[in-house]
Amino acid sequence: MNSKRQTPNSKLKLVILGLDCVPPQLVFDQWRDELPNLRGLMEGGIARPLVSTVPPITVPAWTAMMTSQDPGQLGFYGFRNRKDYSYDGLYFANANHVKAKTVWNHLSRGRLGSLVFGVPQTYPPKPLNGVLVSSFLTPDKSVQYTWPAEIARELDEAAEGDYIIDVKDFRSDQKDRLIDAIHVMTRRRFKAFRHLLRTRDFDFAIMVEMGPDRIHHAFWRYHDPAHRLYERGNPYENVIHNYYIALDAEIGRVLGMLDPDTSVMIVSDHGAKGMTGAICVNEWLQRQGWLSLKEAPSGPMALKTDMVDWPRTRVWGEGGYYARIFFNVQGREPQGVISADQYESFRDEVKTALEAIPDEQGQPIGTRVFKPEEIYHDCQGVPPDLIVYFGDLNWRSAGSVGTGALHLFENDTGPDDANHAQEGICIWKPPHGIQPRDDERYSIYDIAPTILKLYGQNIPPEMIGKALF
């Protein structure tokens, strides 16, 4: 890693538009000709798939992008994480749990100003040299969610009277309401972001829009002919397509107000793909004899730790777009049963068994299982004992018990058509005279070092990516 300080370019401006959950196939291929603003950036710069974190989840992916540290280094492995080795459940990883320095922390120390808008894991907001509007993880607008606090009033004024942090209940069957809510949110958020671009001095600006993620999860089955539930000619067939057209127009309005010399980057934290179904991981663990409950559930319900018969349990799991598998280890968990000398051989046994889980017809699904210490540079916090991509993320993990089935074909936490895919996008119009690396794809960890190198800042040794030029 070249950490030599360069001379800062005081005239340089970089604006990053982050689009949560946007996959390469829609922007680079399928709808390229219908997205004139994104196409113009691609033709005037570079466009590459951006390989996400393991797992490819909004948290921790955006923070990994802005710190160039992997989930193990960061110490959180998803939205919800174990706070310790007790059975007390999980905590939500907000900004208070982010100990690594973000790019705007580094830029602030270099007396460069940042406009940070909607980046996940920025609530509660922390001081910086600039302006910060926290993300969809903000509980509501009754709390302070901006830095400085008075910016919140401006956001409402700029956003048609009501700035929207996130759409409510996007896992819903009220599809017409959702379409309108997602479009309104995106339109108002871009208006508020453009207002801040016009009224604030900045060197670096980044916005993250959650609309693509929400519309993919709500409408993927209606748009994708390969989805198991797709019906040609359905009334929602063009909902995702039409949203992308509107999103491209919003991007065009941002581009239209920028100086031609401003460098622009479009990134997504991960991609999207159709969800085949869900594997009921805790139902499976019970069938294996590795998870015991105090009594049989009366029907489908979330697994609670007080339901578990811990002295008779070796393994339990968490649901989500991927599975986290936790072991009940002697001397680590309060009622651990797996001895230290059995741990590694038993972990291999569980890994092999997970990889062998078939679909409902007995066919292999290509599950991938990871040991955290083999994929991360470090393992801070409390990592899962195993990380599981059921069907290489074509299937999600359902943590519910009492389902009476190993396979589900609806999400157990509300309607959801899509899972996350490993590759997002990176489109970059670099500053004049900079030639990006001609790699086949880039890494999510490359973005932060690129930003720092552009501004002549030191690239810290804990950053694991490398600049794109």
DSSP string, 150-191: THHHHHHHHTTT---SS-S--SSS-HHHHHHHHHHHHHHHHH
In this structure, are residues 134 and 122 in contact, taking their beta carbons and an 8 Å threshold? yes
In this structure, are residues 186 and 207 in contact, taking their beta carbons and an 8 Å threshold? no
DSSP conformational letter for 102? P
Q: What integer pLDDT is reported at residue 8 of this predicted model?
A: 45
* Residue whose C-alpha is closest to residue 124's, from 113, 115, 116, 135: 135
Q: Provide the edge-to-edge strand list for the sheet that holds 395-398.
A: 395-398, 277-280, 407-408
Distance CA 408, CA 96 (A): 36
Instruction: Walk me through the domains of the chain, giving residue ranges and CATH numbers.
Output: 14-275+420-454 (3.40.720.10), 277-415 (no CATH)
Q: Which residues of 54-65 are buried (b: 16+ CB within 10 A; e: fewer)?
A: bbbbbbbbbbbb
Q: What integer pLDDT is reported at residue 413 of this predicted model?
A: 65
- Cα–Cα distances (Å) from 239 to 162, 170, 224, 234, 245, in that order, read 24, 14, 11, 10, 10
Q: Which residues of the chain have pLDDT under 70?
A: 1-10, 412-414
Distance CA 14, CA 2 (A): 21
Cα torsion through 168, 172, 176, 181, rounded to 10: 10
Q: What integer pLDDT is reported at residue 11 of this predicted model?
A: 82
Q: What integer pLDDT is reported at residue 7 of this predicted model?
A: 41
Q: Which residues of 164-181 are buried (b: 16+ CB within 10 A; e: fewer)?
A: bbbbeebeeeeeeebbeb
Distance CA 451, CA 444 (A): 12
